[in-house]
């Protein structure tokens, strides 16, 4: 259910037929762009039920797409409600109920609740029932006093934590909006408090996101009201021993002083402890490299290596991924450790669009969970998946190449002009060779190519062709761009399923009882199988070896299993896998997973096409029975389990 602002935004979007920038919407509604983006995800989910959607353009903004009849139906639903309180969602109503109970600190009747929410008493009682169930998870009880109403019972720490967690789902911006409308504190005091806190955070070089800052302000405002009522929080001695170690505690002490100035009352030190927890779990824009915990960095690199293994994408050299992941993981671990939930409003979208990648994260998240003794929930996992998705997109922008064969009826000069113009306008097109028209039929079978670009008309072949003039004028450039974009759209559709394992790991690419002396020899032998089958160029073998030398033995990502690979543009002709089982295991230099019995060489053409086949292979490696067959069985047994695994 959409809230009032979201309904208002939707109403506006249905009335315009042009793109509008999110920055303009944010300015119009006096909220952050992040909040606008969250609202748009909710709106998109709402209109999708009527067959609509939202188009996004980096340069132009967003545009609602829906036909006239469905637009009328949506407007009817939106116009049915004009009052915010009439159509709060269940989670918004629960948050409002809990906010009232916390701020009033007294028994409140269901009649009072119903009046505030403008819903029936029956709806209120259902909401209170759900609230009671939710609070139980935080060790807080919702008591009913006959003929009087409802009140909270529990430790102050748990009551505060329960509100923080539920308000995260409500949205910190919405929480602040509700606070301004319903709090006993006047707006001027809240604004003064925000200014003081912002100054403190700036002085301590702690740059929170807008939403994290609003969440902190909501917590502190409620804390001041609870203290006036005599409700003080208590931090255990064990927690204190840990919290005092962090620089965030020094920041929290200054925030505590600001609370005393604004509220004109004494604020116990334990409040600084809870604020420390809040800051440790708050989302930040960046983390200073020198402040990174070395243990966290090592485990994060191990996690990145594991994901690289299962995705078959080399993430190890992506500094932006490492930095972004570390910045996210530090507060994430503290949130999970102290049960401070963070709702991910994009979770459904992420699971739908990047389901395979989310599955890879889920499969490998144990690396982080075991090290830090926490359990990652879906919200946090989907945030992590976004970091890897961004890394994949960076690789696609920088690394995807199109292989083309040039056909020309003129001389060398024309060919060179054509090549230089292509290189200028389309640097992602790799020209594998130039051939005259009369030799095309016998030459075409020699190459793994995506397109033929020709200056003369050619007969239809199994490879699509683009007819251009040597100068590559604007019409030709548009023609090439349209063709390449169409190919990309088709490729995206193909990636949704991808080839199965038995289509990639064929019998001729499997060799058993191979004798080698070094890990380099093992990589070369596995790579030679792929070269022999035309799947990769010879240079790809050395690229795999250099990758291990450069980044270390991270390719040994399971006990006794190594998966050497390099980048798609280093000589991969088509998606491929080869499997070597060594007669005597060898050392790659990995501290826990050596020695290696299985060497699986991967050649990937992009960042996604291989994921289905690789997922099936990883399932075989993770199953004790099938892994034993890979390690001990004969070739036919291995071929059989590959076929079985390809059906999953």
**What's the rounded Cα separation, in Å, for the pair 53 and 363?**
32
Burial string for 293-307 (b: 16+ CB within 10 Å, else e) reads eeebeebbbbbbbbb
Residue listed under structure tokens 């004798």: 515
Burial of 266 (0-12, 13-18, 19+ CB in 10 A): exposed
Helical packing angle, 110-117 and 121-136, nearest 10°: 110
| 209: enclosing H helix or E strand | none
**Tokens coding 641:** 């389990």
Phi-psi region of 112 (alpha: psi -120 to 50; beta: other; left: phi over 0): alpha
**Given 219, 328, 387, 565, which residue is catalytic?**
565
Measured CA to CA in angstroms, residue 556 lies from 276, 316, 461, 474, 614 at distances of 39, 13, 43, 49, 15
**Tokens coding 595:** 């020695």
Secondary structure (DSSP) of 456-522: S-----SS-EEE--TT--HHHHHHHHHHHHHHHHHHHHHHTT---HHHHS-GGGEEEEE--SSHHHH
69 contact partners, CB below 8 Å, separation of at least 6: none
SS3 content of the chain, % helix, strand, coil (to 5): 60, 10, 30
Smallest Cα–Cα separation from 255: which of 265, 267, 264? Answer: 267
**Tokens coding 468:** 């251009």
The answer to whether the bond into 480 is cis (omega within 30° of 0) is no
CB atoms near residue 583 (< 10 Å): 11
| 588: enclosing H helix or E strand | none
Burial of 82 (0-12, 13-18, 19+ CB in 10 A): exposed
**What's the rounded Cα separation, in Å, for the pair 367 and 364?**
6
| 34: enclosing H helix or E strand | helix 33-48
**What's the rounded Cα separation, in Å, for the pair 419 and 414?**
9
Catalytic residue list contains 565: yes
Contact 248, 280 (CB under 8 A): yes
**What's the rounded Cα separation, in Å, for the pair 626 and 612?**
18
275 contact partners, CB below 8 Å, separation of at least 6: 216, 219, 220, 252, 255, 256
Secondary structure (DSSP) of 295-358: HHHHHHHHHHHHHHHHHT---TT-HHHHHHHHHHHHHHHHHHHTT-----TTHHHHHHHSHHHH
**What's the rounded Cα separation, in Å, for the pair 527 and 602?**
9
Measured CA to CA in angstroms, residue 587 lies from 366, 516, 521, 557, 597 at distances of 25, 11, 12, 13, 9
Specify which residues 572 forms β-bridges with. Answer: 536
| Catalytic annotation, residues | 565
């Amino acid at each position: 259910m959409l809230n009032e602002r979201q309904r208002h935004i939707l109403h506006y979007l249905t009335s315009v037929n042009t793109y509008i920038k999110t920055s303009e919407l944010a300015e119009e509604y006096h909220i952050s762009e992040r909040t606008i983006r969250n609202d748009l995800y909710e709106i998109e989910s709402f209109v999708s039920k009527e067959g609509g959607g939202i188009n996004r353009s980096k340069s132009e903004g967003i545009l609602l797409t829906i036909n006239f009849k469905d637009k009328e139906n949506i407007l009817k639903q939106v116009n049915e409600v004009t009052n915010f309180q009439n159509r709060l969602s269940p989670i918004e109503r629960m948050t409002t109920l809990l906010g009232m109970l916390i701020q009033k600190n007294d028994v409140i009747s269901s009649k009072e609740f119903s009046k505030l929410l403008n819903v029936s008493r029956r709806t209120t009682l259902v909401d209170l029932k759900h609230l009671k169930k939710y609070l139980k998870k935080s060790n807080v009880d919702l008591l009913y006093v006959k003929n009087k109403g409802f009140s909270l019972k529990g430790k102050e720490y748990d009551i505060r934590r329960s509100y923080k967690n539920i308000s995260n789902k409500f949205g910190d911006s919405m929480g602040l909006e509700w606070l301004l409308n319903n709090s006993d504190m006047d707006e001027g005091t809240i604004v003064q408090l925000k200014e003081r806190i912002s100054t403190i955070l700036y002085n301590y070089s702690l740059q929170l996101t807008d939403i994290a800052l609003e969440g902190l302000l909501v917590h502190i405002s409620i804390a001041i009201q609870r203290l006036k009522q005599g409700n003080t929080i208590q931090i255990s001695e064990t927690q204190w021993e840990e919290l005092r170690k962090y620089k965030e505690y020094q920041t929290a002490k200054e925030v505590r002083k600001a609370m005393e100035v604004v509220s004109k009352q004494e604020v116990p030190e334990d409040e600084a402890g809870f604020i420390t927890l809040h800051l440790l779990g708050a989302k930040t824009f960046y983390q200073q490299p020198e402040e990174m915990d070395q243990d966290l960095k090592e485990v994060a690199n191990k996690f990145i290596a594991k994901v690289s293994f299962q995705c078959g994408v080399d993430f190890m050299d992506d500094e932006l991924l490492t930095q972004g992941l570390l910045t996210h993981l530090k507060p994430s671990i503290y949130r999970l450790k102290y049960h401070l939930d963070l709702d991910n409003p994009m979770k459904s979208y992420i699971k739908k669009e990047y389901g395979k990648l989310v599955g890879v994260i889920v499969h490998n998240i144990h690396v982080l969970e075991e090290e830090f003794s926490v359990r990652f929930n879906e919200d946090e996992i989907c945030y992590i998946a976004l970091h890897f998705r961004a890394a994949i997109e960076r690789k696609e922008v920088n690394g995807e190449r199109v292989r083309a064969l040039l056909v020309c009826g003129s001389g060398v000069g024309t060919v060179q002009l054509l090549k230089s113009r292509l290189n200028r306008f389309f640097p992602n097109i790799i020209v594998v060779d130039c051939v005259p028209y009369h030799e095309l039929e016998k030459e075409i079978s020699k190459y793994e190519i995506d397109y033929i670009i020709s200056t003369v008309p050619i007969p239809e072949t199994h490879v699509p062709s683009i007819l251009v003039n040597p100068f590559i004028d604007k019409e030709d450039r548009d023609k090439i761009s349209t063709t390449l974009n169409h190919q990309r759209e088709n490729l995206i559709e193909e990636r949704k399923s991808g080839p199965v394992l038995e289509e990639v790991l064929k019998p001729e690419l499997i060799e058993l009882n191979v004798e080698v002396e070094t890990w380099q020899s093992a990589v070369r032998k596995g790579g030679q199988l792929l070269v022999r089958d035309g799947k990769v160029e010879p240079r790809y073998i050395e690229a795999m070896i250099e990758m291990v030398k450069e980044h270390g033995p991270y390719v040994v990502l399971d006990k006794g299993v190594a998966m050497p690979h390099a980048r798609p543009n280093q000589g991969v002709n088509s998606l491929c896998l080869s499997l070597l089982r060594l007669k005597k295991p060898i050392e790659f230099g990995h501290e826990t997973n050596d020695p290696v019995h299985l060497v699986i060489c991967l050649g990937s053409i992009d960042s996604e096409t291989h994921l289905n086949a690789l997922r099936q292979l990883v399932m075989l490696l993770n199953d004790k029975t099938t892994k034993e067959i890979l390690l001990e069985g004969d070739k036919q047994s291995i071929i059989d389990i590959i076929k079985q695994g390809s059906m999953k």
